[in-house]
Structures are given as C-alpha cells and as structure tokens.
Amino acid sequence: MTVSRIAALCLGLCAAVPITAQAAGSGYHVIDHISGPDGGWDYVRVDPANNRVLVAHGGSVVALDIATKAVTADLARGAILHDPLPVNGGTEVMVTNGGTAEAVFYNAKTWAEVARVKTGAGPDAAAFDAHSGLVLVMDHRGGDITLIDPKAHKAVGAIPVGGDLEAAAVDGAGKAWVNVENKNEVVAIDIAGRKALAHYPLAGCDGPTGLAYDAADKQLIAACDGATVVVDATSGKVVATLATGKGADGIAYDPGQKLAFVSAGQDGTLAIVSVGKGKASIVDTVKTQVSARTVAIDLRSGRVYLPAAEFGPRPAGGGRPPLVPGSFKILVVGK
C-alpha cells in the first residue's frame, strides 16, 4: 500500500477500539496482543520455515517469534518498506523498498543483505509463483509487474498492467491476477507470456487492495473499501458482493476451511467470509482494533495476525494523526 493511502486511512483513527477477548459466533476472537516498537506498518507475513511473523514496519522489519512471542525490531532497514516476503524455502526474505525502487534480499537467519534488484516505481506488494519460480513485484506507481528470479537475485522481465497496482494472487499453473486500486478492477496475467490477458471491472468495489484465490472453485476474493467481492476467475463475472468493513487493506485465505479473513482498519473489524461454488456469506465479524488493516494467516494453526496501533487526534491543519507512543501491537485472532 502507498504512503498516501495509508495516510488517508489514518485520518479517522483518533482513538483505538478496545480489544475484546469475548468469542464471536464462529469462535474466532482476539486471543492475544503482543507489543512491539513504535512506527507505521504495511504488509504482514507468516514465515512458517522460521516460525515467525514478519511486519514491514516503515523503515525496518519487525519479527515476532510465534512460539516465544519475542519481538525483534530494526531488521532490514530501508526507506519505505512494504512487503517482507519469505523466499527460497525460507532461507531468505525479500523486502520491497518503495523509497529506492528495489527488492532487497536478506539472509533469513542473520538479516545480512544478500542482493538488491531494481524494480519499477513504487514497489509494493509481492507474490511468489511456484509454477515459474518467480516473484511478482507490484510496482504501485509504475503500473508494471516486475518479475524477479529469487534464486539468481535478478529481474527477468516486466508485465505492463497500468494503474495503481495492489496485491496479486496466483493459481500455481502460470496465471496470476492483480488488483488495480484506482481503476476498481482485477487484471488477469499470463506470467510466461509476460502480458495482461483481461481486465475485469469489480462492480460494487471501491479501491480493491487485498486479493486471494480459491483454487477449488476458481474464484477470486477481493477486499475493497466497505465490501468484499467474489469473482469468477475464468470469466471475470462478479458472483457475490458482501458489505464488509471500511478501510480494508488485506485479506488472508484458509483453503482448508474455505474462509477468507478481511481486515478493515477504519472500522476495526475482521470479516470472516465463507466462499465456494459461486456463493459467499459472512459467517462472523470479529471486533479487532481501529487501524488493524493488514492481515496474515498461519495455516498450521489457523491463527490470524494483524498489526495495529492507537492514534491521537487529527492535527488542526490536516494530515496524519500522530501514533500514540507505546501503542503498537500485533493482534492474534484465533479460537
């Protein structure tokens, strides 16, 4: 997500919604909140090979040890970091650096820098495609997808898409899809052919950000501002539109349960959406915390992780409200 959109979402965050330990109807609820260092954030990732959660924390990466709850700060320092993606079997972490227009590789154990790869303008979200062995880096400002060979640490091509690119999803068979935030559409991508195949308008969707793929039913699930839209991945037809929270900036998908978790930072909610066979329904809405807008799931435990913080009043002259010192935490949602 870009700095400008982060600022826009933060404008209404004048006070945090209290965390509740009360279980919702599905059994999901906030079961823990783990404090971390002050600072803004963007994407959060679960790194199963090293049993930790990684958060792009503005100018560095924060790591949470899942077993011990120990938090390590100031890793992979950079300019404007967006997505800490584990690669190469968990031996390295690739971090998109919006400030330098690079994808930077780090040793996953020592956090020593391994390599830097130039991308297009404003590298933001990233996704690994096991079929090609490539990482797709969404150049939010440039409108291209930079393709990177993570083993060779080099860019091997680019796919022009156009617009403000957000999250992508892959099918594991050579195809990908990417949300275009400013055009309210999802674009189908042929990775090997290095081209966009089709542009699918997302009716009922404003500012699509998070995107997940339901391989069993060949459906896409897009997180929008105030809605979650389910799309037939083959035809691009919108098959369901559900009202979900404002300020959504992420989605996590559990294929075993066929549940999508849509985090909404402005409302401080986590919608739990059941999908399958051309249908979708909201099975629960868990109260999280205002500002908890990005999300990741640990498929081993089913637990969901959301960074959050409290913000003070909006400045009289406008701009971003200040983060309350000592308030950053990682929320854990589970049963």
Q: What is the pLDDT along the chain (335 residues), one digit of tens a residue?
A: 654 455 445 444 444 333 333 445 789 999 999 999 999 999 999 999 999 999 999 899 999 999 999 999 999 999 899 999 999 999 999 999 999 999 999 999 999 999 999 999 999 999 999 999 999 999 999 999 999 999 999 999 999 999 999 999 999 999 999 999 999 999 999 999 999 999 999 999 999 999 999 999 999 999 999 999 999 999 999 999 999 999 999 999 999 999 999 999 999 999 999 998 888 999 999 999 999 999 999 999 999 999 999 999 988 888 888 999 999 999 999 99
Q: What is the pLDDT of residue 2?
A: 54
Locate 159 and state its tokens.
Answer: 């796919």
What pLDDT, on a 0 to 100 scale, did the predictor assign at position 24? 54
Answer yes or no: are the C-beta atoms of 81 and 98 closer than 8 Å.
yes
**Which of 263, 273, 313, 307 has its CA nearest to residue 84?**
307
Nearest 10 degrees: Cα torsion 3, 6, 10, 12: 120
Q: What is the DSSP annotation of 205-220?
A: -SS---EEEETTTTEE
What number does CATH give the domain 1-40+207-335?
A: 2.130.10.10
Rg of the Cα atoms in the chain: 18
> What per-residue confidence (pLDDT) applies to 19?
37
Identical fold for domains 1-40+207-335 and 41-201, yes or no, is yes
Which option is the CATH number for 41-201: 3.40.50.300, 3.30.1330.200, 2.130.10.10, 3.40.250.10? 2.130.10.10
CA distance 152 to 88: 10
pLDDT at 11: 45
The answer to whether the beta carbons of residues 305 and 330 sit under 8 Å apart is yes
pTM (predicted TM-score): 0.92
Give the integer Cα–Cα distance in Å for 200 and 319.
Answer: 34
Under 8 Å CB-to-CB from 203, ≥6 apart: which residues? 229, 238, 241
Return d(Cα 255, Cα 257) in angstroms, integer: 6
Q: Tally the C-alpha atoms within 13 A of residue 196's C-alpha that lie toward its C-beta.
A: 19
Hunting for tokens 């409108």 — which residue is that?
143
Return the number of other C-beta atoms located less than 10 Å from residue 4's C-beta. 10
What residue spans define the domains of the chain? 1-40+207-335, 41-201
- Looking at the chain, the number of H-run helices and the number of E-run strands are 1, 28
Among candidate residues 141, 142, 147, the one with its CA nearest the CA of residue 170: 147
**All residues at 6 or more sequence positions from 251 whose CB lies less than 8 Å from its CB, including other chains:** 167, 210, 211, 212, 221, 222, 223, 228, 260, 261, 262, 263, 295
Residues 6+ apart with CB under 8 A from 206: 184, 224, 225, 226, 227
